[in-house]
Structure 1
Amino acid sequence: MRINFIYSGLAFSLAVFLFTGLLHAQQIVTPRGIDWATFLQQHDLVWTGIVPDYYSGAIMGNGLLGNNIYKEGEAYKFHIGRVDVTEGRMPADKSQYRNLYHGARLPIGYFLMKPVGAPLSENMRLNLWDATTTGNIITDKGKISFKSYVHATRDIIVLETDTEGEENGFQWDWNALKAISPRYTFGNKDYPQEYIDNPNPDVKIYTDGEYKLSVQNLLGGKSYIVAWHEIKEGNSRRIFITISQEQTEKQAIDKAKKTIRDAIKESPVALESSHKQWWHAYYPSSFVSFGNSKMESFYWIQQYKLGCITRPDKYIIDLQGPWAMEKTPWPAIWMNLNVQLTYSPLFTANRAEMSEPLWKSLNDNLQNLAENTSVNEWQEDAIVMGRSTSYHLLSPLKADMEDKMLYETGNLTWILYYYYEYCVYLQDENELLEKFYPLLKKSIAYYTHIKEKREDGKYHLPETASPEYKSARDCNYDLSLLRWGLNTLLKINTTYKLGDVKVPEWKDFIDNLVDYPVDPEKGYMIGENVNLTGSHRHYSHLLMVYPLHMVNWEQPENRELISKSISHWQSMPDYLQGYSFTGSSSMYSMMGDGQKAVAQLQKLIDKYIRPNTLYRETGPVIETPLAGAASLQELFLQSWGGKIRVFPAVPENWAQASFINFRAEGAFLVSASRYKGKTVFIQIESEKGGECRVQTYMNTDNLRVQQAKGAKTDFSVIDKAKGLISISTRKGDIIQLTDETLDTIIPKPVKHPKEECNPYGYKR
């Protein structure tokens, strides 16, 4: 039957089939069945005033270029950026290379829209579905209405305005920012003197025919150009902006002009339509609706941001995305938590392809990863990664470095954990064996070079850093990642019968590896003789619990240890930051405690998330809100340890919940819905075939398992209490699970009150 209802104050209808028992053969659930424009409208960012705050601006991007709209004085700032504009220098002595200066991400600049009159009121709305910002500025001299977007597939930023009264004469001014590391501008004193003594030349700004050009030549060799062109028709203006970067100034100018010329050839409607087309295809990769409207808005804005900050053919995501600031201590790519958390929500959201720039970069920069070992003899078989880097991944580590807090040996292995997820979520055996496996083998080889065998007959690790806290021997950060890496190498060898000659060595290593250092009262320690005695924002000592799940809640013997470790960590809140709450939320979800998991996310959202959902720790750091999206996913779907868990940690007060096409290990796409606190529908699409173990939490006595086309499917019950079953699938199977005693309701949006919608943006 067809049901009409009021959804967040907006009248629309959804085709919802309510019946008991067998689903109709044609009723295959896909995200395409969602009214996306209406659904996302309630999550648009809305401003009833525009303020002078980077973290309150309207952010747009296409994986390369970005634009952030906010206020400056009585003018309106269009702060633009390009993600790959970096310093690109290399000192004569390569050992003196400093990522935060020689490889720093550089700010570009901003345009100012200066009204003729004094602003009286203003408003703005970022339409998520169309990835377009519209706004109105009312002054004592008239009105400026504007629309802006960063084109999804062209390297062009578009601004269109219509004016009333004297505002037809508003000014449009360019302000170039100095090409110098934002870490130096921020005030840090750790700069190399030669970097400051050899500044980049000043920018050149001039008119070239119908184009305005801002030309910056870098000492590193490249040139980047900001070019813009304006078309005036009566009270309307169209401004086209691009940023190009090439090896020479002439090449950059030619590229910028061509980019603008090609955009102008299209009509305004056609240009905007091609932009929207990409975004309208992007969102329906998956769908989810939560029982909390603000968390739902937060989640979907993160999906929007992912489409702004990366694409399959672009670059590794750094800490700022395409919205570079002129003052921040973090103008690089951070590898000891930030990259890992940034990419964590992509796989379940069925957007795994968006992570490909990271994996490509690892494989393309293998020589630099080897040179990071800083020992010539190790470079033949080992790779490693320091704390921060640029796109070339050069970040050396020295085992004898004086400051052991810089000796973070586990960073690359942690990144490879997410590369492994990419492979197993897609069930891409070629990628796993030909690219991932050699990288993991070399990453673990670094540990074989530094391991120590003591009198107890066990292998130990020397003093290494536990990020954000202290260094220690037998650091749990490294022991967790080393165990995972060794187990994974052995598992791949067994599964694919590789017969690697290193297998006996790996077995010996893991069989004789020292246990995790544990305090009987407080749980997991930082490392040998180093306890957690003060507030620690990072969960570097708890990776074996999350995200690696090697120590988990399904092991009854470990539950007390897990509980006391998390409680002790969270009991000292002074230095906890946003990702302290995403990490603990995910751990509580692993424990099946949805109430605590959501409570931690509520702390994140209430205290740390800014009006446009960006996040700040001294400067912009992009990872934490994205990690929050992963934590929200884990309330509804978890996929680890060889099985899929459907709705493992839904809080009791979320009686209705649903998702469509969340991706799980084994290349399974899972859809499910809950109604009145019970799971009433699960759909599993098998892209590659194979055994599917799914923990349904449903009554297996009443469980009907069938092909979407109607044929009954055999299954075996593994754990009746948890509704854990095993289904043998063939490639292309779409299998649906229902409870014969309950109404089957397919996934659909949760209805939220109108007053709870559009919580982000800025409200006066």
Structure 2
Amino acid sequence: MIDTKVDWASFLGRHDLTWSVKPISWDEGAFIGNGSIGAMVYSEEHRLKRNVLRFVLGRTDVTAKRPDGGFPPRVPVGELHLELSGWLYQPISLRLDLWNAELRADITTTVGEVQLRAFVHSRKQAMAVELKTSGGESAASFRWYAYQEVDPILKNADGYNLNQYIPESEVVRSVRSGIRAAAETFKPDGSGGCATAWTELSGSDASTSPEEAGRRVIYLSIQNGADETAAQRAEEAVKRASEQPWDEWVESHRSWWHDYYPQSFVSIPDTMLEGFYWIQMYKLASATRSDGMIMDNQGPWLTSTPWPGVWFNMNVQMAYSPVYTSNRLHLGMSLVGAFREQVETLIGNVPDDFRTDSAGLPRSCSYDLAGRVDDEKGNLLWVCHNLWRQYRHSMDRKLLGELLYPLLRRAVRYHTRILAEGDDGKLHLPATVSPEYGSFLKMKVPDTHYDLALLRWGCETLLRISEMPEPAAGTDTERDADRRKWQEILERLAPLPTDETGYMIGRGQPLAFGHRHFSHLMAVFPLHLVSGDSEEERELILRSLRHWFSMEGDLRGFTFTGAASIAATLGLGDESLAYLKSLLHLLKPNTMYKEAGPVIESPLAGAEAIHDMLLQSWGDRIRVFPAIPEDWKDAAFHDLRTEGAFLVSAVRTNGATSWVRVKSLAGEPCRLHTDMTGSVRIAASERTTVRTLGDGRFELDLPCGEEVVLYAEKQLSGEPPHKGGVIRPVPAQSHLCGYFGSRKPWRLYGLPIRFGGSDSDR
């Protein structure tokens, strides 16, 4: 039995995003969301708008039809403004409370004070903003603006991206039963739009307690579509929210989050990185839900961008990467659902004569996944790898048989149709694009590492699935023919091109200039076709990694997350940490990330890299603390999930693993690798068998529902785990608590400052 001594409110409170200087841009804003509706909250420095606190609203599924025939992009939906009587001034206190998923603010203006609380309800499609005013701020007011009505001063502050399509629109306003509504129809053809509804309650109407002077609550909902049905949905969401007692509505919102966070636990001695990790767990659940839309490049926080859609040459795949090990598989179901619903569209993406047995995915598209597959071929195979991880971490045979297996067959078949035998007798791929390499040169290369590695992984995985009793469809003869074909491809497929620098982009094309993507290293990560277990493989991976980073011209956020995970694969904890620390310098103060526009995947992939330092499970082996930095003497995690559907908990104390708990959820075979090489005690039921193989390696026969605890014979502190292992947070570095939100670089350099805030939470 594991005793989790985690005071979640206090633990997460030490990582709340905090602002003592008002945020004035998307890069610094406080973000709230429920997977569909979101808001980025910040203000403005222009003297004519210093009295405005902006809630820049977004709804993930609102798109518009382009006149030029391009895919329907996401478009802005408007803003809610708190228009104050005075200017927002310093000091200001904003706090994004992670545990309760709400923003709280104490704002001083030039004429009075404002207290504010805001959140997007976790279960309902509505946002609430509670306001209390004092002094000269009694006249503060809420105003909603369609995007076209937002003042140019604010739009200019956000910046325009000339590659972004934003349609003209027509807004029709109405008021019914005290609820205001605005139906916005996108021109020219009126095929899209959105409906926003809101109402404001004050005094006793807004509270379960006696009337409070200066207290107001505004409820707001956004729905996709501008027809009467959409407007009715928005108004009904507002009506239901406003009629429920406030305290009950708040509690129902919080209860979802209070169930969400404890699904797993991670604590490390680097407080800034620990805070970053938990903010990403908050961001994940704010950006998607099990029944929601696929995570695109921005989540619900749309702003000026050249990428208002879904990108599949890395973005989606890496955004979802942390859901598996973090034991938050329900969030991965939005990706599963999107592909389950659009199989026919994926088939239609390939040429007519391929559609009998193939499917594909373009680089970018809208939520319908429609788009012609061009010279970048492997994107659907990479998504299938995410679906495979969803399956392996859940062991959901229905997912495997109904979606993954048939879709993976089609994705592999698309590639086999374009294979050709070369003079060497090997099967080769034609010139294709290796994602992000030579993009502006429109460079195409034969036998790209990207496509070869994905095809090899696809064939190996299909062979593995075909040996299972249920998923393989068709007659025995058909299954045998499939297996022979996949085996032949594996035997004859051209090898991954290498040269003296390591892995190449493709045949005849070395890595000759800066490359932000790890598309030429896919075999190492995330596919793990090569492990580094042999000295030859390890040397090749290291040589490739070193050469990659010697080309400094184009290193971006996801460059560092990929490198961190590759280093972790080799057990290089200090190097993995150095890449992650470098990533932090590229992030915005609120942990968002931008290049030419915002993209959500890099910080989320950073959370996955932290997982890779703590726990890995590729290659049918669970590795506990495989890449711990030298300075991380203490660490703890609880209920992280691995392939084979195991929940793993472990504690590291004074530089050594104290104990490991493994619980089986599916009864799969289990091979465990730890650094517990001395005398190890085992606590398990009679139904469980543990074989000690030496060098910290164990084989476990764990029936479904059973668990085993391995613990060092000499406990360094506390009760031995067989009497109840204890999980508790690693002590925090107090000066790095509440680091994110506004920019606080002085906290990094030991300046003799006494830091305020919630020291009691630390």
Mapped pair 1:595 → 2:574 = yes
Query: Match for residue 137 of structure 2?
Result: 167
Q: CA deviation at 1:747?
A: 2.6
Partner of 1:532, secondary structure, is: coil
Distance 2:88 2:402 in 1: 60
Deviations 1:596-632 (A, max 9, x none): 0001000001x21111111001111000000000000
Distance 1:508 1:639 in 2: 28
Change over 3 Å in CA distance of 1:630–1:189 after alignment to 2: closer
Mapped pair 1:571 → 2:515 = no
Change over 3 Å in CA distance of 1:206–1:49 after alignment to 2: farther
Query: Match for residue 105 of structure 1?
Result: 74
8 Å CA contact 2:589, 2:743 repeated in 1: no
Partner of 1:254, secondary structure, is: helix
Mapped pair 1:267 → 2:245 = yes
Query: Match for residue 645 of structure 1?
Result: 623
Identity across matched positions, percent: 36
Query: Match for residue 536 of structure 1?
Result: 515
Query: Match for residue 13 of structure 1?
Result: none
Distance 1:507 1:278 in 2: 47
Q: CA deviation at 1:433?
A: 2.1
TM-score, length-normalised on structure 1? 0.89
Distance 2:357 2:85 in 1: 65
Mapped pair 1:715 → 2:690 = yes
Distance 1:495 1:159 in 2: 53
Partner of 1:353, secondary structure, is: helix
Distance 2:534 2:96 in 1: 46
Mapped pair 1:481 → 2:458 = no
Mapped pair 1:64 → 2:36 = yes
Query: Match for residue 711 of structure 2?
Result: 738
Q: Give the counterpart letter for 2:106 in structure 1.
A: N
Change over 3 Å in CA distance of 1:179–1:475 after alignment to 2: farther
Q: CA deviation at 1:752?
A: 1.1
More off after superposition, 107-116 vs 276-285:
107-116
Mapped pair 1:392 → 2:371 = no
Change over 3 Å in CA distance of 1:558–1:177 after alignment to 2: same
Distance 1:763 1:138 in 2: 20
Give 5+ residue unaligned stretches, structure 2.
204-212, 438-442, 745-762
Distance 1:571 1:415 in 2: 30
Mapped pair 1:409 → 2:377 = yes
TM-score, length-normalised on structure 2? 0.89
Mapped pair 1:614 → 2:592 = yes
Partner of 2:251, secondary structure, is: helix
Partner of 1:449, secondary structure, is: helix
Mapped pair 1:127 → 2:97 = yes
Q: Give the counterpart letter for 1:751 in structure 2.
A: P
Mapped pair 1:439 → 2:414 = no
Give 5+ residue unaligned stretches, structure 1.
1-27, 399-406
Query: Match for residue 297 of structure 2?
Result: 319
Out of 174, 196, 221, which is 2:191 matched to?
Answer: 221
Map 1:259-658 onto structure 2 (within 5 A): 259-325=237-303, 327-373=304-350, 375-398=351-374, 407-469=375-437, 470-496=443-469, 498=472, 499=476, 500=479, 501-519=481-499, 521-605=500-584, 607-658=585-636
Q: Give the counterpart letter for 1:562 in structure 2.
A: I
8 Å CA contact 2:669, 2:700 repeated in 1: yes
Q: CA deviation at 1:189?
A: 5.8
8 Å CA contact 2:164, 2:306 repeated in 1: no
Q: Give the counterpart letter for 1:421 in structure 2.
A: R
Distance 2:616 2:497 in 1: 28
8 Å CA contact 1:705, 1:712 repeated in 2: no
Distance 1:385 1:552 in 2: 28
Deviations 1:287-325 (A, max 9, x none): 010120000000000000011001101010011111111
Q: CA deviation at 1:172?
A: 1.9
Change over 3 Å in CA distance of 1:223–1:120 after alignment to 2: closer
Q: CA deviation at 1:509?
A: 1.2
Map 1:680-695 onto structure 2 (within 5 A): 680-695=658-673
Deviations 1:435-475 (A, max 9, x none): 21000000000011111111211100000000111420001
Distance 1:674 1:747 in 2: 10
Q: CA deviation at 1:253?
A: 1.6
Deviations 1:374-401 (A, max 9, x none): x211111100111101111002124xxx
Partner of 2:735, secondary structure, is: helix
Q: CA deviation at 1:713?
A: 5.0
Out of 60, 82, 86, which is 1:83 matched to?
Answer: 60
Distance 1:150 1:697 in 2: 44
More off after superposition, 629-638 vs 104-113:
104-113
Q: Give the counterpart letter for 1:442 in structure 2.
A: R
Partner of 1:54, secondary structure, is: coil
Query: Match for residue 667 of structure 1?
Result: 645
Q: Give the counterpart letter for 1:66 in structure 2.
A: G
Q: Give the counterpart letter for 1:271 in structure 2.
A: W
Q: Give the counterpart letter for 1:287 in structure 2.
A: F
Query: Match for residue 751 of structure 1?
Result: 731
8 Å CA contact 1:585, 1:596 repeated in 2: yes
Distance 2:715 2:340 in 1: 51
8 Å CA contact 1:106, 1:179 repeated in 2: no
Q: CA deviation at 1:426?
A: 0.7
